Amino acid sequence: MEELTGKQKKHLRGLGQRLEVGASVGKGGLSPGLVQGISGLLERHELVKVRLPAGPPQGRREMGQALADASGAANVGMVGRTLLLYRPTSRLEKDDRIVLP
Protein backbone atom coordinates (compact mmCIF):
# COMPACT_ATOMS: atom_id res chain seq x y z
CA MET A 1 0.00 0.00 0.00
CA GLU A 2 1.24 3.49 -0.79
CA GLU A 3 2.13 5.89 2.00
CA LEU A 4 -0.67 8.14 3.22
CA THR A 5 -0.20 11.90 3.42
CA GLY A 6 -0.67 13.80 6.66
CA LYS A 7 -3.96 15.23 5.41
CA GLN A 8 -5.27 11.75 4.57
CA LYS A 9 -4.24 10.38 7.97
CA LYS A 10 -5.95 13.29 9.71
CA HIS A 11 -9.15 12.61 7.74
CA LEU A 12 -9.05 8.90 8.61
CA ARG A 13 -8.39 9.60 12.31
CA GLY A 14 -11.47 11.83 12.29
CA LEU A 15 -13.55 9.01 10.82
CA GLY A 16 -12.07 6.60 13.34
CA GLN A 17 -13.28 8.63 16.32
CA ARG A 18 -16.78 7.17 16.10
CA LEU A 19 -15.70 3.56 15.45
CA GLU A 20 -15.90 0.81 18.02
CA VAL A 21 -12.90 -1.49 18.55
CA GLY A 22 -13.14 -4.24 15.94
CA ALA A 23 -10.43 -6.59 17.20
CA SER A 24 -8.18 -7.08 20.21
CA VAL A 25 -4.72 -8.59 20.39
CA GLY A 26 -4.68 -11.09 23.23
CA LYS A 27 -2.01 -13.15 24.96
CA GLY A 28 -1.41 -15.10 21.74
CA GLY A 29 0.02 -11.99 20.12
CA LEU A 30 0.07 -11.65 16.36
CA SER A 31 -1.21 -15.09 15.44
CA PRO A 32 -2.14 -15.99 11.85
CA GLY A 33 -5.78 -16.24 12.92
CA LEU A 34 -5.74 -12.69 14.28
CA VAL A 35 -4.14 -11.32 11.10
CA GLN A 36 -6.69 -13.19 8.99
CA GLY A 37 -9.55 -11.83 11.11
CA ILE A 38 -8.30 -8.26 10.82
CA SER A 39 -7.84 -8.68 7.07
CA GLY A 40 -11.47 -9.80 6.86
CA LEU A 41 -12.59 -6.75 8.82
CA LEU A 42 -10.58 -4.49 6.53
CA GLU A 43 -12.26 -6.07 3.48
CA ARG A 44 -15.68 -5.25 4.93
CA HIS A 45 -14.99 -1.84 6.48
CA GLU A 46 -11.66 -0.39 5.16
CA LEU A 47 -11.01 1.31 8.54
CA VAL A 48 -10.61 -0.77 11.72
CA LYS A 49 -9.71 -0.04 15.34
CA VAL A 50 -7.55 -2.64 17.08
CA ARG A 51 -6.90 -2.80 20.84
CA LEU A 52 -3.32 -3.77 21.69
CA PRO A 53 -2.19 -5.45 24.92
CA ALA A 54 -0.68 -3.50 27.80
CA GLY A 55 3.06 -3.11 27.79
CA PRO A 56 5.75 -0.56 27.07
CA PRO A 57 4.86 2.02 24.40
CA GLN A 58 7.79 1.03 22.18
CA GLY A 59 6.60 -2.58 22.11
CA ARG A 60 3.08 -1.49 21.18
CA ARG A 61 4.40 0.66 18.32
CA GLU A 62 6.41 -2.26 16.97
CA MET A 63 3.43 -4.61 17.32
CA GLY A 64 1.16 -2.10 15.58
CA GLN A 65 3.52 -1.73 12.65
CA ALA A 66 3.98 -5.51 12.40
CA LEU A 67 0.21 -5.96 12.36
CA ALA A 68 -0.19 -3.31 9.65
CA ASP A 69 2.51 -4.96 7.53
CA ALA A 70 1.07 -8.45 7.99
CA SER A 71 -2.44 -7.35 7.01
CA GLY A 72 -1.32 -5.13 4.12
CA ALA A 73 -2.83 -2.05 5.75
CA ALA A 74 -1.60 1.43 6.55
CA ASN A 75 -0.98 2.34 10.18
CA VAL A 76 -3.05 5.53 10.42
CA GLY A 77 -2.18 6.23 14.03
CA MET A 78 -2.08 4.99 17.58
CA VAL A 79 -3.42 6.57 20.74
CA GLY A 80 -2.56 4.68 23.90
CA ARG A 81 -3.40 1.04 23.24
CA THR A 82 -5.72 1.72 20.29
CA LEU A 83 -4.41 1.29 16.74
CA LEU A 84 -6.22 2.50 13.62
CA LEU A 85 -5.64 0.57 10.37
CA TYR A 86 -6.78 1.46 6.85
CA ARG A 87 -6.78 -0.60 3.68
CA PRO A 88 -8.88 0.36 0.64
CA THR A 89 -10.95 -2.40 -0.95
CA SER A 90 -12.82 -2.71 -4.22
CA ARG A 91 -15.32 -5.19 -2.73
CA LEU A 92 -17.46 -2.42 -1.23
CA GLU A 93 -20.10 -0.51 -3.14
CA LYS A 94 -18.81 2.80 -4.48
CA ASP A 95 -20.96 4.77 -2.01
CA ASP A 96 -19.63 2.77 0.97
CA ARG A 97 -15.93 3.31 0.24
CA ILE A 98 -13.88 5.88 2.09
CA VAL A 99 -12.91 8.81 -0.14
CA LEU A 100 -9.54 10.29 0.78
CA PRO A 101 -8.84 14.01 0.34
Structure confidence at residue 75 as a pLDDT band (50, 70, 90):
very high
Instruction: Give the C-alpha separation, 5 to 28, whole Å.
Output: 33
Q: What is the pTM of this model?
A: 0.91
Could you tell me the sign of the dihedral formed by the alpha carbons of 85, 89, 91, 96, in that order? positive
The alpha-helical segments, DSSP class H, found in 2-85 are 6-16, 32-45, 57-71
Mean pLDDT of the chain: 92
CB 42 within 8 A of CB 24: no
Q: Which one-letter amino acid corresponds to residue 60?
A: R
CB 22 within 8 A of CB 49: yes
Residue 59 pLDDT > 80: yes
Structure confidence at residue 29 as a pLDDT band (50, 70, 90):
confident
Residue 94, pLDDT score: 86
Domains of the chain: 6-88 (3.30.110.60)
Instruction: Give the C-alpha separation, 76 to 55, whole Å.
Output: 20
